[in-house]
Structure 1
């Protein structure tokens, strides 16, 4: 009922303003019920099928709710003339789980939610770490899903190999924050100027971003590190293999990889300065060319222009 009511309001707005194209970002519920004859571009970072199967908060929902979400997604994708999804995994899900026409579905990666203050510049490539100082960064609103405990074990493993590794962690407090290997930054609110400055400081300070998630629809934090020419090591779930190009802008490892495998990958990136500089340069290059909001907007505009 609510979705149909929203669709009626959207149709009224279209009749009132007469746009060339209707754009619906993450608006699967009303889009499928709209009656407008105007072409529609639907954009999202994930599909309903991926969401309800990946995250505990949705897996615990009842069957009827899950079925409704699936139906909304089916209708929105069928109704749209173009579908822009953030990752290859989402495109695959749209085709396989929601019967999308492959010809109208595109990968359009999202950008970083961070920007440099006026007058500041990023040094590219970043200065390589030294054995006496290797700084890792984990940004995790959900530290269980993003495996904070594993990240602490990775820092400990690097220390056993002669690297003085510190895990800088942004997120809610957990017992792991008391580890001697962890520098807990707290829960930062990026709308707060002081918190935003602290976030930028850590992005610039840390040599490698970690995100060994058990589930991830996309993964913004590695892009924010890439904006500061920092490579990332991530798991191969969801959209992370779209965000990070394995062995070019970082490493993409199986989510089931034991700790030693993560330690091996990081050590392989940092033990040679020229290797780290290459990762750093490529990460920044991909951010500047693809993983930014102007590029996302240009791609969406192109899809719209195809329909006019």
Structure 2
């Protein structure tokens, strides 16, 4: 039975577009809508002003070598707040749900309790992600101000990792109820086909790299380990989806881009998961990693790096392995080799990967945990 709760779902972009925040808004909206009586989208907000500010950012980078984080600017935040206040006028909601929306709510005037959800915070991303690095000092200060005001507006805060939650508690003034709730897979259940994975040296073993940034997602390590496994005599192939790497190999398939809004692309993506034995993604920077939830849904163990919030998405010995942040390609090759050589351990890892998805790494679980948090106060 759905809870008698009415939520205003606030985002600047269209939350029903699976490309918005990589489909996270879409899945959050569906998860909440499946569990409460009313979820109304307050957005999207017209983007013409954002596009103009994006041009300014490119100009400053060209002439001064520094960027301006226009998405967390005071001016943009003020404009967003006025739009949202207009859209909320005359409507009754129990809560405002604001995912990754510090800019949208920082200057918002409302008496409706705000649930603020994000995978990180600006201060944590500054100089961790390239997008938030090498900014003007005034832009850093402005962005932190927006983040702080957004957090202070909230009655409830939720993050998918201990990494993100701890940073906010230590670096931002915060009186809200705060809870770690893992995110889920951004593929609807009807497209997920699960059959316990098995592995054998007698058959080809497929490594799947799935990411839009070859370098940030650790592509160089993936390729080095792939070559090392071939040199050791293993019959392995590598599928790269989401980007175009700077190298080619006759046992390597490259799929530059798939759009989850297109049914044929979504089906092809699920086919890639079904054919894979490992999701191999040793990211250098990652807030959480939705793709690890998706791999778990198909029973695919993930091999990754212990950085950012990945430790809450990939649990050692349960749905894969997070190697030490300083591990090189030799260490990853050894981990893969150990699992390839131990067929029984691999099968158990596949089963426990799927169980973790069913128990925690899905959006229905996320929504129920959000609702449970609201019921504590």
Which residue is 1:106 aligned to? Answer: 179
SS in 2 for 1:263: helix
After superposition, the Cα gap between the structure-2 partners of 1:140 and 1:117, relative to the gap in structure 1 and judged at 3 Å, is same
Counterpart Cα distance in 2 of 1:131 and 1:163: 9
> Residue 285 of structure 1: CA displacement?
0.7
> Residue 95 of structure 1: CA displacement?
1.0
The equivalences for 1:132-281 within 5 A come to 132-176=203-247, 178-281=248-351
Counterpart Cα distance in 1 of 2:295 and 2:137: 38
Q: In structure 2, list runs of 5 or more residues that go unmatched.
A: 1-74
Which residue is 2:37 aligned to? Answer: none
Aligned-pair Cα RMSD in Å: 1.8
Checking the alignment, whether the CA contact within 8 Å between 1:211 and 1:232 is kept in structure 2 is yes
Counterpart Cα distance in 2 of 1:76 and 1:154: 43
Checking the alignment, whether the CA contact within 8 Å between 1:152 and 1:181 is kept in structure 2 is no
> Residue 243 of structure 1: CA displacement?
0.2
Counterpart Cα distance in 2 of 1:115 and 1:129: 30
Which residue is 2:365 aligned to? Answer: 295
> Residue 174 of structure 1: CA displacement?
2.4
Checking the alignment, whether the CA contact within 8 Å between 1:131 and 1:162 is kept in structure 2 is no
TM-score by length of 1: 0.92
Counterpart Cα distance in 2 of 1:129 and 1:169: 22
After superposition, the Cα gap between the structure-2 partners of 1:28 and 1:129, relative to the gap in structure 1 and judged at 3 Å, is farther
Checking the alignment, whether the CA contact within 8 Å between 2:185 and 2:361 is kept in structure 1 is yes
The equivalences for 1:4-23 within 5 A come to 4-23=78-97
Q: Deviations over 1:55-113 (max 9, x none)?
A: 11220322212211111111111221110112111101111222334x72111111111
Q: Deviations over 1:127-185 (max 9, x none)?
A: 22435411110011011111212111111111222311111110222232x12342212
Q: Deviations over 1:248-293 (max 9, x none)?
A: 2110012321111001111222311110011111111111111111
Checking the alignment, whether the CA contact within 8 Å between 1:14 and 1:36 is kept in structure 2 is no
Q: Deviations over 1:203-253 (max 9, x none)?
A: 010101011111111111121111100010111111111100012211001
Q: How many residues align?
A: 303
Counterpart Cα distance in 1 of 2:144 and 2:304: 28
Checking the alignment, whether the CA contact within 8 Å between 2:122 and 2:143 is kept in structure 1 is yes
Q: Which has the higher contact order (CA 8 A, sep 6+)?
A: 1
Q: Does 1:45 align with 2:115?
A: no
Q: Does 1:122 align with 2:194?
A: yes
After superposition, the Cα gap between the structure-2 partners of 1:131 and 1:160, relative to the gap in structure 1 and judged at 3 Å, is farther
> Residue 15 of structure 1: CA displacement?
4.5
After superposition, the Cα gap between the structure-2 partners of 1:116 and 1:298, relative to the gap in structure 1 and judged at 3 Å, is closer
Counterpart Cα distance in 1 of 2:216 and 2:202: 29
Which residue is 2:147 aligned to? Answer: 73
After superposition, the Cα gap between the structure-2 partners of 1:180 and 1:111, relative to the gap in structure 1 and judged at 3 Å, is same
Worse-superposed segment, 7-16 or 141-150: 7-16
Counterpart Cα distance in 2 of 1:297 and 1:197: 26
SS in 2 for 1:215: coil
TM-score by length of 2: 0.76
Counterpart Cα distance in 2 of 1:192 and 1:35: 38
